[in-house]
Chains A and B, each alone.
Chain A
Amino acid sequence: MLSVISYPVFLVSVVLSLVLSISLFPAGWFEFRPEWLGLVVFYWTFRAPAQFGVLMAWCLGLLLDVLEATPLGVNAMAMAMVAFLVLTIHQRLRMYPLPQQCLVVFLLLGVSQMLVHFIKQFLGADNPGFSYLWPALTSAILWPLVSSILDRINHKLG
């Protein structure tokens, strides 16, 4: 359980999260689209803190930057931040019951979204109020599902 990482599963989950973050969501509900890549980064840093860390998260964030056409480095920095925070608390996180894990997911992804929007506004984007926190909430709701699915596949193959 401690450091399980199956690289094929890792690759597939990353590609899938990138695809999901540009596709397959009903129009008009974009505000609520979960932060798929954030969830994947959270999961892999949490499950395999030795292999998956800040640098990897940064590289994935860079890919998201290209897909979202944000200035290169914005999402990268946010993802690195998520990975770092998970690394600092992952031992306690293992002891938490599931609802509390969800709360942590909400907090960390919320912090990363805040960072992203802080930088975007700094560069001159609109202020959307607090609606940018919706993805963090939907991601937190999806966390039990995502982690259990990835766990199951990971255990079979890892």
Chain B
Amino acid sequence: MIPWEGFAIKTIFVQGPVPGLRLFLVILVSAALIAADAHFDRLSPMRSAISTGLAPVHWLGNAPYRFSDWFSGLFVTRGDLEEENEELKTRLLILERRALKYAALAAENNELRHLLNSSETLDDRVVVSEVVGVSPDPFSHEIIINKGESDGVTVGQAILDAEGLMGQVIQTSQFTSRVLLVSDSSHAVPVEVVRNGLRAVLLGTGQSNELDLVHVPDTADIREGDMLVSSGLGGRFPRGYPVAEVSSITKEAGEPFVSIKASPEARLSQSRLVLVVFQRQEESVPDAIDSPATGEVN
């Protein structure tokens, strides 16, 4: 035992300086990578490639949830299923009635827009996707969804759930994408108040149940309970999706702006199914530019 230990110590003393040199090199490489990634955004292909390679890890990470879903599905009684079925049918009826009304309204709206000579707004195409992971970093609000480049997802697309806007795609790999939620402290959405069209910017705070509406002047007409919808002004989010509801307004004397808190409409930390929005504006905008031009030629 003792000579063996002595031998080991010797070899390690011989190897001594090597880890130090390696660490130095590795730190240099890391610093270069961090700079290239954070400041120049040059490494997305590399990140995307590694991420594609890590798809099995994502898949395994999601496996327990899928298993528990499947497992809880095994022990549903017939009565529960019938009850749920009944409930869904009722809900379907209500929604169908609403959809009928909306179809009529949408047609009328399009006609009016047509009369106003503006571009026809088409319905956005959506793709249903499943949340397969959340960011392991507790200080960032991100989720991973199971649609990626192979499904045509690109960076910047808006993500919705059944209740409202959830966030936007910030990274894509072959089969998964990473979504920054509206509650992340680095996220902002341009919104407007439904009631009167007042525009403002909604910032994430890092808490999943609270958002900040900033730069709203003291005299602005805004009340608790006002619905905030995306205004589409940044060009990133489609217009008119509900984002949050104003929950509290505090006016502080001497401050130029009121501090307004809003609670997100989307169930940011609960939804398992989300919608990826494919905007068709790319196609409709050139049309809008073309038509007056052709009009002039004629």
Contacts and interface: CB of A to CB of B under 8 A. Distances in A.
Query: A and B: real partners?
Result: yes
Interface of A: 2, 15, 18-19, 21-24, 27, 30-31, 33, 49-50, 53-55, 58, 62-63, 66-74, 76-77, 80-81, 83-84, 87-88, 91, 119, 123-126, 128, 132
Given A27-B269, A63-B54, A72 B26 contact: no
B57 A19 contact: yes
Nearest to B269: A27
Given A15-B60, A69-B171, A128-B139, A76 B22 contact: no
Interface string B7-36: 011011001000110110011011111101
Contact count band on B? 35 or more
Given A19-B57, A27-B269, A54 B19 contact: yes
Contacts of B295: none
B105 interface: no
Contacts of B144: 22
B29 A72 contact: no
B140 interface: yes
B81 interface: no
A28 to B, nearest CB: 9
Given A31-B138, A77-B31, A123-B38, 6 more contacts: A19-B60, A22-B134, A58-B30, A68-B136, A72-B34, A76-B33
Interface secondary structure of A, over-half rule:
helix
A116 to B, nearest CB: 9
A5 B110 CA distance: 69
Given A23-B62, A66-B50, A69-B140, A54 B26 contact: yes
Contact of A72 (B43, B63, B178): B43
Interface string B54-65: 101110111111
A70 B139 CA distance: 11
A83 B26 CA distance: 12
B97 interface: no
A58 B27 CA distance: 9
Nearest to A54: B22
B61 A53 contact: no
